[in-house]
Amino acid sequence: MSEPFLKVEHLTKHYPLSAGFLKKPSLFVRAVEDVSFSVAAGETLCIVGESGCGKSTVARLLMRLVNPTGGRVLIDGTDIASLEKHELRAWRRRMQMVFQDPYSSLNPRLTAGQIITEPLENFEPLSGKQRNALAANLLEKVGLSSEMMHRLPSELSGGQRQRLGIARALSLEPSLIILDEAVSALDVSVQAQILNLLMDLQQEMGIAFVFISHDLGVVEHIGHRIAVMYLGRIVELATCEALFANPSHPYTEALIAAAPVPDPTRIRSATLVEGEVPSPINPPSGCAFHPRCPLAVERCRILVPPLVSMPDGRALACHVRAPDETMPALSSLPATLVNSTLV
Ligand code: SF4
C-alpha cells in the first residue's frame, strides 16, 4: 500500500448541551473520542458499530462539515483545519460523500444530467456539449443508460438513484469518497450490485473509500480494513480477513455473533452481549463497554484502555486481551480517582 492519503489523529467531537441563556454548558454529547486511523489510495476502510457509536460524526468531521473539538484530519499531509474557506472549497473536490438516502440527497427539481454536472459547474463553466458528454460518460460508468440524463430522481428506482449519487460524486474525480450507510436503504440484490460497482470503480480509478455501515455482511464484502467503534472510540482495527476469522475485542466478538449468517455450515461464537448502548452524554467510566462485557475486571471500570498495536498487525483497546504495560497499576492511583473516569 502507498502512503496514506487520509490520516486522522486523535479526532474528538463533543457537542455541548444547551444550559440556558448565557450559561456555560456543563453537559456534552461525547460523539467521538480520540479516534486515529489512516486510509491509503485505493483502499477501503470500513467503520462499523451500533447506531449512536459516532461513525457518522466521523464522516462529517472528515468532510469538515463540523469542526472537531480536538485532533486533526490530514489529507495528503495537509491539516484541513488550517485551510481558509476558499482553499477548503478547492480541497473538497478531492473528497466527496455519498449518503444513505439517495432520494433526499438529490435535488428533485434537477434532471439526472444536471445533478451530475452541477458540482463541476461550481468550479468551472461548461458548454452544453461538454455537459452532455460528461453526464453521458458518468451515467454509463455507473451502469445507467445515457438516455436517463433527462429524467428526474422521482422517475428512477432506489438503486438507480444511488448510482446517480455515485456518478455525481465521481464528477469531480475525487481521491476519496466517504460512503455513509450508502447501501442500507437498498434491497439486498441492489446492494450487491452497488458494492460490486464501487469495487470496480476503485480498481479502475484508485479511489480510497471510507465506508460507514452497521451491516457486517456488507463490510465483509467490500472492506480491506475495518475499524470497530463503540461509544465514540475505536476498539479494534484490523484487516477484514483477520477481524472475521479471529475477532479479538469482546465487543467485536459480540457484533459478529449477533450478525445473521447466511451460510448454515458456518460456525459462529455464542458470545452475545446484553443491555443497551449507554448514553454518550454520561458514558461509563474506564472502558465504556465494561457494564456489558463478560470479561470485565476492576481495571476496566477505572482506566480507559488505549488502542495497542498487536503482533499480528491489528490494533486493540482492551485491558484483558491487549494489556498495556505502560499504564499505571491500580494500587498506584489515588483512592479518589478509583471511582472517577480517567481519560
Ligand atoms: Fe471488556 Fe475490560 Fe476489555 Fe473493556 S477493557 S472490553 S471491559 S475486558
DSSP for 181-224, please give it.
STTTTS-HHHHHHHHHHHHHHHHHH--EEEEEES-HHHHHHH-S
Mean pLDDT, residues 212-223 taken together? 92
Whose alpha carbon is nearest atom 5 of ligand 1?
Answer: 318
Of 250, 199, 203, 249, give the one whose Cα is nearest residue 220.
199
Mean pLDDT, residues 14-38 taken together? 86
With 80 as the cut, is the pLDDT of residue 18 above it? Answer: no
With 60 as the cut, is the pLDDT of residue 270 above it? Answer: no
With 70 as the cut, is the pLDDT of residue 266 above it? Answer: no
Mean pLDDT, residues 210-216 taken together? 93
pLDDT digits (tens, 9 = 90+) for 129-180: 999 999 999 999 999 999 999 999 999 998 999 999 999 999 999 999 999 9
Give φ, ψ of 113 to 5 degrees.
-60, -45
With 80 as the cut, is the pLDDT of residue 271 above it? Answer: no
Mean pLDDT, residues 52-65 taken together? 92
User: 274 alpha carbon to ligand 1 midpoint, in Å?
Assistant: 14
Beta pairing partners, 284: none
pLDDT band at 342 (very low <50, low <70, confident <90, very high): very low
Residue 145's contacts (CB-CB under 8 Å, 6 or more residues apart) are 139
In contact, 268 and 257? CB cutoff 8 Å: yes
Residue 80's contacts (CB-CB under 8 Å, 6 or more residues apart) are 64, 73, 74, 88, 91
pLDDT at 264: 61
pLDDT at 12: 97
Cell of 234: 475505536
Q: What is the mean pLDDT of the chain?
A: 89
Beta pairing partners, 211: 46, 179
In contact, 319 and 303? CB cutoff 8 Å: yes
pLDDT at 272: 63
User: 193 alpha carbon to ligand 1 midpoint, in Å?
Assistant: 38
SS3 3: coil
Higher pLDDT, 51 or 102: 51
pLDDT at 67: 92
Of 212, 193, 213, 189, give the one whose Cα is nearest residue 201.
193
Atom of ligand 1 nearest to the CA of 235: 6
SS3 309: strand
Ligand 1 binding residues, C-beta < 6 A: 249-250, 287, 289-290, 293, 295-296, 300, 305, 318-320
Atom of ligand 1 nearest to the CA of 249: 6
Residue 103's contacts (CB-CB under 8 Å, 6 or more residues apart) are 153, 158, 161
Q: What structural domains and CATH numbers belong to the chain?
A: 4-342 (3.40.50.300)
Mean pLDDT, residues 230-254 taken together? 96
With 60 as the cut, is the pLDDT of residue 73 above it? Answer: yes
User: 301 alpha carbon to ligand 1 midpoint, in Å?
Assistant: 9
With 90 as the cut, is the pLDDT of residue 90 above it? Answer: no
pLDDT at 52: 86
Whose alpha carbon is nearest atom 6 of ligand 1?
Answer: 318
Cα–Cα distance for residue pair 294/273, rounded to 1 Å: 8
Mean pLDDT, residues 15-30 taken together? 81
Q: Please calculate the CA angle 343-226-56 and round it to the nearest 5 degrees.
A: 65
In contact, 32 and 54? CB cutoff 8 Å: yes
Higher pLDDT, 337 or 300: 300
User: 34 alpha carbon to ligand 1 midpoint, in Å?
Assistant: 17
With 80 as the cut, is the pLDDT of residue 261 above it? Answer: no
With 60 as the cut, is the pLDDT of residue 339 above it? Answer: no
Which of 30-34, 37-41, 188-192, 230-234 shows the lowest per-residue confidence on average (mean pLDDT)? Answer: 188-192
pLDDT at 316: 97
pLDDT band at 330 (very low <50, low <70, confident <90, very high): confident
Residue 32's contacts (CB-CB under 8 Å, 6 or more residues apart) are 11, 12, 13, 54, 57, 58, 61, 68, 232
User: What percent of the chain is modeled with pLDDT above 70?
Assistant: 92
pLDDT at 2: 56
Cell of 282: 454520561
pLDDT at 343: 43
pLDDT digits (tens, 9 = 90+) for 283-323: 999 999 999 999 999 999 999 999 999 999 999 999 999 98
